Structure 1
Amino acid sequence: MALPPFMNSTGLIGKIFEKIQQAKVPPRYTQDFQATVLGYGSGSAKPFIPFLKRLGFIQSDGTPTELYTRFRNADSSGAAMAEAMRNGYSDIFQKNEFAHALTDDKLKNLVVEVTGKEPSDGAVGAIVGSFKACKQLADFDSAVVPAVEKLEPLGISKSLVKHESRSSSSPELRLAYTINVNLPETTDVNVYNAIFSAIRANLLTNE
């Protein structure tokens, strides 16, 4: 299984993304563009290009995607990065939909679980560091709240209960839902707000 996206020089991630927002969108994002226009041509910066591809900012040939252009827009950059992280770190978010709200220790434990590597493995630290560097640029509050069909992985289950009227004069069928919510461990109140907003918007509205 491929490891989640990471760079060993995690401190470069935020710096290069800042330069991306300042520079024009290139026809193709290449090592020459990164070195000449953005100013990052060192060997430690070269892994940033495959890192961008894994996150969905550029295509396999280096062509910037729609996500790339949205990230350059100050009004949508945070949401674009949140979407990129959910794409690139999909294995992590499948384990915990609110991985971005975990403490450093819990995030590391989750990476260990996903990768199967030892906690002391350098790749684990690089993945955690890369994840956190991207998270600093992301706005998950502006991201789309999970739809009804995506609530199951959050620990929200539904069971359909049928109630039949016993009156022979006015037979009718009534349906009710029982909703069980298992909340994730987090101190971020925005996580709970997102969950209950999704419930109100998708499950508690009257059609």
Structure 2
Amino acid sequence: MTGSFTKIPQYFDTMLTAKAPDKFTTKFMADLGFTSSNDRQFVNVLKAIGFLDDSGTPTERYFKFLDQSFSKQMVAEGIKEAYADLFALNTSANKMTKAEVEGKFKTLTNGSKENATIGHMASTFINLCGYADWAETQSSPTPTQSQNADPVQSSDNGLTSKVAHPHEGHRIDLNYDIHIHLPATRDQAVYDALFASLTKHLPLK
């Protein structure tokens, strides 16, 4: 996106008034009243935040978004997924200023993007975050980055993405307590035989 950052709230609010299409295309954007070339690029944003699959078909997240009880939370969820690399650098990335976001993007792209492109990327992120509801997602853990993670991939639509990595497994330690009921006897040989057997079959480490 290169010029319609302030329209992001309008895009989402208008989507809430319409039934989800079989395919979310640039024509559907035009049918919603957004006809400029900048408007059409919002389709790529919706794909990046998981509202559409690669073919433009609405996903489960899109349908949850249409329930206005969860709309802005779904946007926040999609942002955290699409910008996982940014949230890995700052878990409160949604609270950063535009200048701070630009600085992080320069780091993530190794300075390979022009300042204008970085500015577009930052504006897209800031305006997406401004629409989202972070109350339910702020405490959620961000995806863990491994040292072998794929390099950041960025494009002029203002989004960066990183391959998600599964969480590491958790080790479980088990402790056993063994209770022995001794027979009522005064014969020491009985106890000697019992403890000798325990030593043999349950050696102590």
Normalised TM-score (structure 1) = 0.63
* 1:78–1:139 Cα contact (<8 Å) kept: yes
Between the aligned partners of 2:105 and 2:142, the Cα distance in structure 1 is 27
- What residue in structure 2 maps to residue 61 of structure 1? 55
Which of these two proteins has the greater Rg computed from alpha carbons?
2
User: Does 1:115 pair with 2:109?
Assistant: yes
Aligned length: 143
Between the aligned partners of 1:107 and 1:89, the Cα distance in structure 2 is 11
User: Does 1:30 pair with 2:25?
Assistant: yes
Between the aligned partners of 1:147 and 1:121, the Cα distance in structure 2 is 31
Report the Cα offset of residue 105 of structure 1. Answer: 2.5
Report the Cα offset of residue 107 of structure 1. Answer: 2.0
Report the Cα offset of residue 118 of structure 1. Answer: 7.3
User: Does 1:100 pair with 2:81?
Assistant: no
- What residue in structure 2 maps to residue 74 of structure 1? 68
Which ranges in structure 2 are unaligned for 5 or more consecutive residues?
145-205
Which ranges in structure 1 are unaligned for 5 or more consecutive residues?
1-6, 151-207
SS, match of residue 136 in structure 1: helix
- What residue in structure 2 maps to residue 194 of structure 1? none
Identity of aligned residues (%): 27
Structure 1 residues 120, 33: CA separation in 2 closer, same or farther (over 3 Å shift)? Answer: closer
RMSD of the TM alignment (CA)? Answer: 2.2
Pairing partner for 2:16 from 12, 18, 21:
21
Report the Cα offset of residue 145 of structure 1. Answer: 2.8
Between the aligned partners of 2:20 and 2:12, the Cα distance in structure 1 is 12
* 2:102–2:122 Cα contact (<8 Å) kept: yes
Report the Cα offset of residue 148 of structure 1. Answer: 11
Normalised TM-score (structure 2) = 0.63
Pairing partner for 1:126 from 102, 120, 126:
120
- What residue in structure 2 maps to residue 190 of structure 1? none
- What residue in structure 2 maps to residue 39 of structure 1? 33
